[in-house]
Structure 1
Amino acid sequence: MSDEAPGLSFDSQLSAIQHVERRQLLLALLKSTSNDAAFGNSRATPETDIRELKLQMYHVHLPKLERMGLIEPNENWYNIRRGPRFNDIVPLLRVIDDHRNELPGDVL
């Protein structure tokens, strides 16, 4: 019997990427050479309420990804690093990244 905990289920991985802000953050971590990334407002448009977006990130999206073990904060929530379960979602993120031009425009 293995002592290793089972990886994230496929349903959990889909839940992690369900929201565009979470997808963007996870893809930024995938592409990062330093295992960390700053989360930003890359999808912010002139109509976007930046304050609301930040509140959503701090109170909904970042805590969800942290609970899943996909991210960890670096000193503050502006810099995020890969969590202990990040490698579980890498294959799914690679599929999304490799096929970004073939996927609907609202994927990223």
Structure 2
Amino acid sequence: MNDETPGLSFDSQLAAIQHVERRQLLLALLTATSSGSALDDGRARPGTDVRKLKLQMYHVHLPKLERMGLIEPNGNWYDIRRGPHFDDIVPLLRVIDDHEKRLTGDVL
């Protein structure tokens, strides 16, 4: 990140991880071996309506994360990569990833 581009505020980072589906997607990008990650039906929680999830992802969650600069489509929405502000949220994602087993509820 350069000095001319302001970083993502802490409140914006919290908004980005507020929904479990966005959190899962950002954590998948954090732990991916490359900078991109395909959206996968297999990552849906048990009992999830996959059709409804896809609609929410494509119409709500992905556009929100793209506006925040956390993700970018890599040619299409089936394959995304880290956006220009992804590094801003990495410390927060690492805390969640490192303490996943100690956090309760629908963290992941």
Q: Same fold (TM over 0.5)?
A: yes
Q: Distance in 2 between matches of 1:28 and 1:43?
A: 12
Residue 63 of structure 2 is matched in structure 1 by 63
Report the Cα offset of residue 12 of structure 1: 0.1
Report the Cα offset of residue 84 of structure 1: 0.4
Moved more, 36-45 or 59-68: 36-45
Q: Distance in 2 between matches of 1:48 and 1:99?
A: 24
Residue 29 of structure 1 is matched in structure 2 by 29
Q: Is the 8 A contact 1:44 1:50 kept in 2?
A: no
Q: Which amino acid aligns with 1:12?
A: S
SS at structure 2 position matched to 1:75: strand
Q: Which amino acid aligns with 2:84?
A: P
Unaligned runs of 5+ residues in structure 2 are none
Tell me how many residue pairs correspond in the alignment: 106
SS at structure 1 position matched to 2:69: coil
Runs of 4+ in 1 over 3 A off after TM superposition: none
Report the Cα offset of residue 105 of structure 1: 3.7
Report the Cα offset of residue 30 of structure 1: 0.5
Identity of counterpart residues, as a percentage?
Answer: 75
Report the Cα offset of residue 3 of structure 1: 4.5
SS at structure 2 position matched to 1:22: helix
| Matched ranges for 1:16-95 at <5 A | 16-41=16-41, 42-45=43-46, 47-95=47-95
Q: Is the 8 A contact 1:37 1:79 kept in 2?
A: yes
Provide TM-score, normalisation by structure 1.
0.91
Report the Cα offset of residue 61 of structure 1: 0.2
